[in-house]
Amino acid sequence: MADTSHVRWLYRELPDLVAQGVLEAQAAERLRRHYGDPDMAGSTAKRWAVVLFSIVGAVLIGGGVILLLAHNWDELSRPMRALISIAPLALTAALGAWVLLARTQSTAWREGVGAAQTLAVGASIALVAQTYNLGGRFDEFMLTWSLLALPAAYLLAATLPALLYLMGIMVWAGSVTYHPGSSLWYFPLLAAVLPFLWWSGRANRYHPRPVLLAWMLAITACFGTGFAVERVCEELGARPVVFGGLCVLLYLCGARWWKAAPSVLQRPLQNVGALSAVGLSLVLSYSDGWSGVASSAVNWHSVSSLQDGLQLAAAALVTLAALVVWVRSFRRRVWSEVMLGAVSFLVCAGWIIAGMGDQAVISAFVFNLYLAVLGIGTLVTGLRGRRLGTVNAGMAVLAAAILCRFFDSDLSFVVRGVAFIVIGIGFLSINLVLLRQRQEVQP
C-alpha cells in the first residue's frame, strides 16, 4: 500500500501537471483511480486498529478469567468448580449469537468474540481436566480444541480460530508421529481450513487477514508435512526430498497467487518457501546433510504396512506436485522461479545419487554448485533490473554458501578474515553503486 502522504502530494501536483501538458487528463484520472482516496486508506487502517485491539482485548480478558479459574479454589465444591469452568464458554457462545443477530457487519465484534470463544473452548476442556486431576494426552486435547474452534472461524468470519486451528493440527501431528496412520490425518485436517483461506482472500488477497493466514499456513505446513510423513522419511532418508518439494511448492504457488504484492510482508508463501529452500540447500551442501540417505541406511523393507504405503504415497505426491509446478515455470520461462524451483529436482537427483553406494560427496558437490548458480543468477537478474532487493538476495545466498565452506574447511583465521572482508566490501560497493544509479534516474 502506498504511503498516503505521498499520494496526497501527488494529488496536489496533478492539476498543475495536467495544466502544463506533462500529463493527460485521462492519465491523471487513471492515477486517481489506481491510488484511491487517501482518506479512505486512513480510515481502513483505523478500522483494522480497532479490530486488532478488539482481538487483543478479548484475549487478555479471556486469559485473565482463565487464570482466575485456574487458581483451583479449594473453597468451592468439585462439581461447582467444573461448572464455573464452562461459564466463560457459555458466555462467549451467547455473545457470538448476539453478534450474529445484531452486529453481523462489525468486524471488530466478530473477531473479538471469535478470539474469546476459541480461548474459552480450550480453557473449559483444560479446566475440567484440572478439576478431575486428569493429566490426559496432549495430542487428544489439541485435536479436540482445534476441531471445536474451526467452525467458529467460518461462522463468525474470525481469523484467530483459523490461526489456532493451523497451529493446533501441526502440534497434534507432531505428537502422533509414532503412529503413521494417525499422523497422515494431518492432510485432510489441513484441507478443512483451506476454503476459509480462499474465502478470506477472494476480494483482496493482499488484505491483512489472508496474508496473516497464509504466513501461518506456510510455517505450520512445513512442520506439519514433516510430522505427517515422518516414519517414511526416517526409514528412507527422504526428509530432504519431501521438504525440498514442499519449499518449492510453497514458493511457486506464492509466486503465482501473491505476485503483485506491494511489500515483502505480503508474500508469505514466497518468503517461507525461498528461505527454507536456501536453508535446505545449505544443509545439503555438506556431505553430512545426506547421512540418512546412505544406501546402508535406507530401509525399504520397513515400509510394509498400509499406513506406511499411504505415507509413502503422500510424500511422493508432494514431491511430484513440486516437480509438475516447476516444469510449468520452465515452460513459461520465468527464470527466477525456475532457478529456485530447481531444488525439488536436484534434491531428488541427489537422493538417488547418495543412495547409490554412499555417494554423498557427489550430492553435496551438486548443491554447492547449485548455490553458486542460484546466487550469481539472482545477482545478475537483480543487476539487470536494477532491483536492490534481488541483488542483496543473490549476494546473501553467495555469502552464506561461501561462509559455510569456510567454516567447513581447515583454512587459517587470516584467510577466513580476509575472505569475510572481501565479501563485506562486495556487498557495500554493489549497494552503493545501485543506490547512486537510482538517484541518477530519480533526481
Partner 1 sequence: MNAKLIFGLYVILAVVQLAVPFGQIRKYEDILTTGAVYKLRTAPVDPYDAFRGRYVALNYAGTEAPLRKGERLENRSTAYVALRRDGNGFAQFVELSGEPPLEGDYLRVQYFSMNAIGEDVPSFRLPYDKFFMEEAQAPQAEAAYRKHVKRSGDKDSGTYVVMRVKAGRGVIEELYIGNKPVRDMLKKEGARGKP
- Single residue of 9, 53, 73, 198 touching partner 1 by CB under 8 A: 73
- Is 254 an interacting residue with respect to partner 1 (CB under 8 A)? no
Stretch that binds partner 1, among 8-16, 45-53, 91-99, 245-253 (CB under 8 A): 91-99
- Is 70 an interacting residue with respect to partner 1 (CB under 8 A)? yes
CB 285 within 8 A of CB 404: yes
The H or E element containing residue 54 is helix 38-70
- Is 130 an interacting residue with respect to partner 1 (CB under 8 A)? yes
Tell me how far, at minimum, the Cβ of 315 lies from partner 1, in Å.
20
CA distance linking residue 365 with residue 302, whole number of Å:
30
CB 136 within 8 A of CB 156: no
Q: Which is nearer to partner 1, 180 or 240 (CB)?
A: 180
Tell me how far, at minimum, the Cβ of 234 lies from partner 1, in Å.
14
Selection from 287, 152, 256, 160 nearest residue 212 by Cα:
160
The three grid cell numbers given for residue 414, joined into one nine-digit string:
587470516
- Single residue of 59, 128, 334, 376 touching partner 1 by CB under 8 A: 128
- CA geometry: angle at 400 spanning 399 and 401, to 5°? 90
Selection from 168, 166, 87 nearest residue 123 by Cα:
87
Amino acid at 5: S
Q: Which is nearer to partner 1, 70 or 432 (CB)?
A: 70
Tell me how far, at minimum, the Cβ of 118 lies from partner 1, in Å.
10
- Is 17 an interacting residue with respect to partner 1 (CB under 8 A)? no
Give the contact letters, 133-172, x = binds to partner 1 (CB under 8 A), - = no: xxxxx------x---x--xx--xx----------------
- Is 43 an interacting residue with respect to partner 1 (CB under 8 A)? no
Stretch that binds partner 1, among 4-12, 67-75, 253-261, 423-431 (CB under 8 A): 67-75
Burial classification of residue 68, based on how many CB atoms lie within 10 Å of its CB (0-12 exposed, 13-18 middle, 19 or more buried): exposed
Tell me how far, at minimum, the Cβ of 342 lies from partner 1, in Å.
39
CB 400 within 8 A of CB 282: yes
Selection from 66, 68, 42 nearest residue 116 by Cα:
66
- Single residue of 10, 82, 261, 376 touching partner 1 by CB under 8 A: 82
The three grid cell numbers given for residue 254, joined into one nine-digit string:
506464492
- Is 121 an interacting residue with respect to partner 1 (CB under 8 A)? yes
CA distance linking residue 83 with residue 89, whole number of Å:
11
CB 231 within 8 A of CB 179: no
Q: Which is nearer to partner 1, 179 or 436 (CB)?
A: 179
Q: Using DSSP, how many helices (H) and how many strands (E) does the chain show?
A: 19, 0
CB 311 within 8 A of CB 372: no
Residue 264 DSSP code: G
Number of residues that bind partner 1 (CB under 8 A): 41
Neighbours of 246 (CB within 10 A): 27
Q: Which is nearer to partner 1, 104 or 429 (CB)?
A: 104
- Is 303 an interacting residue with respect to partner 1 (CB under 8 A)? no
- Is 74 an interacting residue with respect to partner 1 (CB under 8 A)? yes
- Is 192 an interacting residue with respect to partner 1 (CB under 8 A)? no
The three grid cell numbers given for residue 251, joined into one nine-digit string:
514458493
Tell me how far, at minimum, the Cβ of 134 lies from partner 1, in Å.
7
Residues in contact with partner 1 by the rule CB under 8 A: 70-74, 79, 82-83, 85-86, 89-90, 93, 96-97, 100-101, 104, 117, 121, 124-125, 127-137, 144, 148, 151-152, 155-156, 178-179
